[in-house]
A and B are shown apart, each in its own frame.
Chain A
Amino acid sequence: MSRVLLDPTAEREPAQRPRSPRLGALAGRKVALLDISKPRGDVFLDRLEEILTARGATIRRFRKPTFAKNAPVDVRQEIASTCDAVIEALAD
């Protein structure tokens, strides 16, 4: 079975979905830092927190229980509903 789908819309928007709007300035924004539980991810994120805080951002720290699985739904929902942006420390 073909995996190509036919667009059901009037095709007035580009096929590629646009990125979310960029933040512009960091001052006053809430930024989530997501540690995926890889070694030394915390070191990287600690430094990011210093830099971003210096620029006026409010930081919230999150952590995935294991890097081997997707972030749990409640973590994703909390980030999406409480923060303006998220930075994920992807690897060691």
Chain B
Amino acid sequence: MTAPTLPDGIVAVVKRDCPTCVVVEPVLRQLREAGAALTVYTQDDPAFPAGLDPVDDTTLEVSYGLDLVTVPTLLRVQDGRETARLEGWLREAWEEFTGVRELGPGLPDFRPGCGSRTLDPGVADELAVRFGASRLRSRRVEPAEAEDEIEAAFDRGWTDGLPVVPPTEARVLRMLDGTTRQPDEVVAVVPPDMVECTAEKVAVNAVMAGCKPEYLPVVIAALQAVCTDEFNGHGLLCTTYSAGPVLVVNGPVRRSIGMNSGVNVLGQGTRANATIGRAVQLVIQNMGGGRPGGIDRATLGNPGKVGFCFAEDEEGSPWPSFASSRGIPEGRSAVTAFAGEGPRIVVDQLSRTPESLTRSFAACLRTVAHPKLAFLFDAMLVVSPEHARVYREAGWSRERLVDELGELLTLPGSELVRGADGIAEGMPEFLATGELPKLRPEGLLVVHAGGRAGLFSAIIGSWVSGETGSVPVTREVET
């Protein structure tokens, strides 16, 4: 923003919509009659104040350049530059400022000003686009006259198959208000093309996904988790397997941005849940170049690849937060990225002891990927409140549940090897004599979420786990 050149003397900026400006109208006339070099700029009505030849600033270019907060504002101007400023109406202050005595006889001594029109909702960003030196570097794309903006985004291959919010400069600027990062800060190197991705480009894609600005720090943390070597976003994208990033959010940010951790937690209907995961996937598609059918070679895919993000129900959980089990101090916000497929439900409406319920979980977890494949895939177990109650009442910690499941899921090699049970698929023959854990020791993630009613939990199987595939990654949410 550059300060405008103003006429020397006294400059007043007013708007008719402001009662205080209307109150000081006779004062301005009095100043003019007293011989003050007065110029009045008007923000709304070009004819206001009558008889004072107001300068039309209905475009707000001058007001924006002056970074006005309040009207009326008086400015003292020398050599075209502002040297002093006074806001609102205070008789004494105006008299001192202008050197003219007995201003506004009969008027109240003091009236606070009103907000400058430049600060009206939605106006500031539009003005920043129109008059500010843009901080944004993205290439500008101007759809043709008759081209619909949403169709334009489809035609250019920017979408995931659903409509996107057109990423105008004003919307992107508003989105960037959600972070303290500068637009040109590189926040991640995005696979598969290994492109340096700036906060601005994340913001463009977050706008398209439908995010609010306050979601942006969560989107960035999630993207950073996905773009680590351990998580192996590149491999996850290229594989014929059908998993995608599953994002679990913990900490105060869940509540402050209105995330759902309750009813229909893994489903639709909550803006933050629906758009944060979508934003991450759009960045990977648009910045990383990971397009379905291009580098993304999933045989089947899953609906969660549009975006799969939910929050843990920490308040109702019998356990410390999931993030704290992954090393994040309680009270901090974090996102965990897990390379997961779609969720499947575990039904157990009869178990009332942790032993019984845990055996149900184990039986179902055994089927992840294939009942005869072990130590190759991780799993996330989303325990619902009614199932969690069983553990709360029995005093089982999350660690105990994981340990007990580990024991139940230590399987005889003879059942797993190729050919066993008449199934060719399975583990190599040499493993027939020993025992094999179904999951890696750190490969079972237990999260508490879901509606208050329903004796159902969910299992989300992973893509190939560990060094050869993906390791879950947790990142703290910064500002």
Q: Do they bind each other?
A: yes
- Chain A residues near B (Cβ < 8 Å): 1-12, 15, 17
Going nearest first, the 5 A-B pairs with the smallest beta carbon separation are A6-B138, A7-B139, A10-B195, A8-B204, A8-B286
Cβ of B476 under 8 Å from chain A: no
Binary contact track B160-179/A, C-beta < 8 Å → 1, others 0: 00000011111010000000
> Contact: B286 with A6, CB < 8 Å?
no
A72 CB to closest chain B CB (Å) equals 18
> Contact: A9 with B172, CB < 8 Å?
no
**Contacts of B139-193 to chain A: CB distance below 8 A:** 139-143, 149, 152-153, 155-156, 158, 166-170, 172, 193
Residues of B within 8 Å of A, CB-based: how many? 34
> Contact: B193 with A5, CB < 8 Å?
no
Q: Which residues in A have their C-beta under 8 angstroms from that of B158?
A: 8-9
Cβ of B208 under 8 Å from chain A: yes
| Chain A interface helix/strand/loop/mixed | loop
> Contact: B170 with A5, CB < 8 Å?
no
Q: With A10-B289, A11-B139, A15-B141 given, is the CB distance from A5 to B149 under 8 Å?
A: yes
Q: With A7-B140, A8-B287, A17-B156 given, is the CB distance from A2 to B204 under 8 Å?
A: no
Cβ of B136 under 8 Å from chain A: yes
B250 CB to closest chain A CB (Å) equals 28
A-B contacts at CB below 8 angstroms, number: 73
> Contact: B289 with A5, CB < 8 Å?
no
Chain A minimum-CB-distance residue to B282: A8
Cβ of B398 under 8 Å from chain A: no
Q: How far is the CA of A4 from the CA of B141 in the complex (A)?
A: 6
> Contact: B153 with A5, CB < 8 Å?
yes
A71 CB to closest chain B CB (Å) equals 16
Q: How far is the CA of A9 from the CA of B284 in the complex (A)?
A: 10
Chain B minimum-CB-distance residue to A7: B139
> Contact: A10 with B204, CB < 8 Å?
no
What are 8 A-B interface contacts by the 8 Å CB criterion?
Answer: A2-B126, A2-B169, A3-B149, A4-B140, A5-B149, A8-B208, A8-B286, A15-B139
Cβ of B261 under 8 Å from chain A: no
Q: With A4-B169, A15-B139, A15-B141 given, is the CB distance from A9 to B153 under 8 Å?
A: no
A30 CB to closest chain B CB (Å) equals 25
A81 CB to closest chain B CB (Å) equals 18
Q: How far is the CA of A3 from the CA of B169 in the complex (A)?
A: 9
Q: With A10-B195, A12-B193 given, is the CB distance from A5 to B152 under 8 Å?
A: yes
Q: Which residues in A have their C-beta under 8 angstroms from that of B289?
A: 10, 12
Q: Could you list 17 further interchain pairs (A-B, Cβ under 8 angstroms) beyond the known A1-B126, A6-B140, A7-B204?
A: A2-B168, A2-B169, A4-B169, A5-B141, A5-B153, A6-B138, A6-B139, A8-B205, A8-B282, A8-B286, A9-B286, A9-B287, A10-B286, A10-B288, A11-B139, A15-B139, A15-B141
Q: Which residues in B have their C-beta under 8 angstroms from that of A15?
A: 139, 141
Looking at the complex, which one of B129, B140, B201, B205 makes contact with A5 (CB distance below 8 Å)?
A: B140
> Contact: A5 with B143, CB < 8 Å?
yes
Binary contact track B121-145/A, C-beta < 8 Å → 1, others 0: 0000010010000001011111100
> Contact: B168 with A6, CB < 8 Å?
yes
Q: How far is the CA of A1 from the CA of B197 in the complex (A)?
A: 27
> Contact: A4 with B142, CB < 8 Å?
yes
> Contact: A7 with B141, CB < 8 Å?
yes
Q: Which residues in B have their C-beta under 8 angstroms from that of A8?
A: 138, 158, 167, 201, 204-205, 208, 282, 286-287
Looking at the complex, which one of A4, A10, A17 makes contact with B168 (CB distance below 8 Å)?
A: A4
Q: Which residues in A have their C-beta under 8 angstroms from that of B129?
A: 2
> Contact: B143 with A6, CB < 8 Å?
no
**Contacts of B230-275 to chain A: CB distance below 8 A:** none
Q: How far is the CA of A5 from the CA of B141 in the complex (A)?
A: 5
> Contact: B167 with A5, CB < 8 Å?
yes
Q: Which of A6, A10, A12, A17 is the most central at the interface, judged by chain B CB atoms within 10 Å of its CB?
A: A6
Q: How far is the CA of A8 from the CA of B143 in the complex (A)?
A: 14
Q: Which residues in A have their C-beta under 8 angstroms from that of B201?
A: 8, 10
Q: With A8-B201, A12-B193 given, is the CB distance from A3 to B143 under 8 Å?
A: yes
